[in-house]
Amino acid sequence: MTCPKTLRNGPCGGVREGGWCEVKPEMQCIWVKAYDRSVSLPLPKVWKAHFNELRPPVDMQLQGTSSWINLVTKRDQQVPAGWIVENRKH
Amino acid sequence: MSVLREKLENSNDAVFTAEFASITGGGMASVQKNSARLAPWFDAVNATDNPAAHAHTSNTATAIAMAMHGLEPIMQIVCRDKNRLAIQSDMLGAALHGITNISLLTGDDVTAGDEPEARRVFDIDSIQAINIARAMTNGKTLSGRTIRPAPDFYLGAVENAAAAPFDYRILRALKKYRAGAKFLQLQICFYPDRLEAFCKGVAKIAPDLKLLPTVVLVKSAKGLGFMNDKVAGIDVPATILTRVQSASDQSNEAYKVALELASHALTLPGVRGLHVTDFRHDESINDFMSDLGRTPKWQIT
Ligand code: SF4
């Protein structure tokens, strides 16, 4: 299951009472689920901090290409020239 | 010059904003009538962008029409119907017309509206849109092209203090602040305890972020029920529904609920004013503002 709004910085404000998805009320909001896990699972601190990072817009040119190759070549880390990359100290 | 910015950033005055009724027909006469109702009380008013996924007059056209009738617009831009190019042209179009207050929202899904068969876009989300708008204030489009002079946006967003995960809503507000939002108009919240926890949390980690909780004026339990059932992200607790339902004068009871929520919200840390959504469309907006201790900018006839 994925977020019907394809959000990268969720959850949206439409989450229903009890944590259900605005668009598909029969499923739990995947961002609520992910957040609950980030709190409850014994994950390393850096991973937990990662949850609140500002994720850049998706590069639609990568649709249908190999995510492994994009990872290895760092192609998936390219952002548009005008995108302000967050500089966080914590 | 944005009065909203001036008041929020350079004064301690409480700030009141409202929602402009979306325009479908009615022409400029209806814009004039709506502006006249709101102008005496409000510092700035939201020009919405296809609210609840229903097609209306565009956000930019609405904002321009409002400005022509003496209101200061806060132009909303929603990510549901526009990709990143269209969102940037909204921003540049606003700048061209001297509209500087911009509020960025992800937006309700298309299924919330009357054309659920439409394609949902969500090419970028609200937080990415805020970051792009901030880049514009530094003189750059998303692709890195130069904009000269750089638009002087005053950026805002919306957050829902009443929706899960409650703890994370505070961090998400911080995320919007880091992206460039200076103020948040909060989603309507019928849970004073949730609103309080949110405002206290935000005041602690983002003390410069200005919070404007929203209260809604409705006439009856039916109006509250509609919001509970139909409006994304809003839950009306049974205690409030029954209270209004069982009152002999529902209209008066619904009014009292709104006044109580508003008075409580105004006492919370980080709160700099209120956003008022009026679904009563009667004279009670005048009573409401007076009951909150406000005086109109001029005599209402
Ligand atoms: S409720 Fe959650 S899963 Fe559903 S659209 Fe919103 S963010 Fe996505």
Q: How far apart are CA B196 and CA A59, in angstroms?
A: 39
- Asked if pLDDT for residue A48 goes beyond 80, the answer is no
* Residue A64 within any structural domain of the chain: yes
Claim to verify: residue A49 and residue A62 sit in the same structural domain: no
Residue A27, ligand 1, Cβ within 6 A: no
Q: Could you report the per-residue pLDDT of A1-33, keeping only the tens digit for each?
A: 699 999 999 999 999 999 999 999 999 999 999
Q: How far apart are CA B197 and CA B165, in angstroms?
A: 12
A4 vs B contacts (CB less than 8 Å)? 109, 120
Q: Given CB atoms, is A6 within the 8 Å cutoff of chain B?
A: yes
Claim to verify: residue A30 and residue A68 sit in the same structural domain: no
Q: How many CA atoms lie within 13 A of B175 on its CB side?
A: 24
Q: What is the DSSP letter of B33?
A: H
- Asked if pLDDT for residue A46 goes beyond 80, the answer is no
Q: How far apart are CA B62 and CA B24, in angstroms?
A: 10
Q: How far apart are CA B52 and CA B252, in angstroms?
A: 27
Q: How far apart are CA B161 and CA B193, in angstroms?
A: 10
B205 neighbors B174 (Cβ within 8 angstroms): yes
Determine how many CB atoms are found less than 10 A away from the CB of residue B40: 16
Measure CA of the first residue to CA of the last residue in chain B; give whole Å: 28
In this complex, the residue of B142, B171, B187 whose CB is nearest that of residue A83 is B142
The two tokens of residue A67 are: 């995510």
Our separate counts of H helices and E strands in chain B read 11, 9
- Asked if pLDDT for residue A90 goes beyond 60, the answer is no
Alpha helices in A9-89 (DSSP H): 30-40, 45-50, 67-72
The answer to whether B125 contacts A16, with C-beta atoms less than 8 Å apart, is: no
B235 vs A contacts (CB less than 8 Å)? 16-17
Claim to verify: residue A14 and residue A47 sit in the same structural domain: yes
* Residue A90 within any structural domain of the chain: no
Q: Given CB atoms, is A7 within the 8 Å cutoff of chain B?
A: yes
Return the bridge partners of A28, or none: A20
* Residue A65 within any structural domain of the chain: yes
Claim to verify: residue A15 and residue A45 sit in the same structural domain: yes
B159 vs A contacts (CB less than 8 Å)? 13
* Residue A70 within any structural domain of the chain: yes
The answer to whether B132 contacts A82, with C-beta atoms less than 8 Å apart, is: yes
Question: How many interface pairs between A and B have CB atoms less than 8 angstroms apart?
Answer: 114
Number of domains in chain A: 2
For residue A23, the enclosing domain spans: 1-53
The Cα-based distances of B257 to B122, B196, B211 in angstroms read 35, 17, 21
Determine the residue of chain A that is closest to B141 in CA distance: A82
Q: What is the pLDDT of residue A86?
A: 80
Peptide bond just before A11 cis, omega within 30 deg: yes
Q: Which of B82, B85, B124, B145 to mutate to test the interface with A (most CBs of A within 10 A)?
A: B124
Amino acid at A82: G
The Cα-based distances of B240 to B200, B214, B253, B258 in angstroms read 24, 17, 10, 10
Claim to verify: residue A12 and residue A49 sit in the same structural domain: yes
Query: For residue B235, what is the enclosing H or E element?
Result: none
Q: Encode B197-234: b = buried (16+ Cβ within 10 Å), e = exposed.
A: bbbebbbeebeebbbbbbbbbbbbbebbeebbeebbbb
Claim to verify: residue A41 and residue A81 sit in the same structural domain: no
Nearest to B262 by CA among B232, B228, B287, B238: B287
Claim to verify: residue A45 and residue A2 sit in the same structural domain: yes
Residue A4, ligand 1, Cβ within 6 A: yes
Interface confidence (ipTM) of the complex = 0.94
In this complex, the residue of A9, A15, A22 whose CB is nearest that of residue B175 is A9
What is the CATH code of the structural domain delimited by B3-291? 3.20.20.220
Say what angle helices B126-137 and B166-179 make with each other, to 10 degrees.
Answer: 20
To 10 degrees, the CA torsion angle through B91, B92, B96, B98? 30
Claim to verify: residue A44 and residue A74 sit in the same structural domain: no
Residue A88, classed as helix, strand or coil, is coil
The Cα-based distances of A86 to A8, A35, A53, B136 in angstroms read 15, 21, 8, 16
In this complex, the residue of B120, B141, B164 whose CB is nearest that of residue A5 is B120
Q: What is the DSSP letter of B190?
A: -
Q: What is the pTM of this model?
A: 0.96
Claim to verify: residue A17 and residue A45 sit in the same structural domain: yes
Using 50 as the pLDDT threshold, list the residues of chain B that sit under it. none
* Residue A75 within any structural domain of the chain: yes
What residues contact B184, with CB distance under 8 A and at least 6 apart?
B156, B157, B158, B159, B173, B176, B202, B209, B210, B211, B212
- What is the Rg, in whole angstroms, of the alpha carbon atoms belonging to chain A? 15
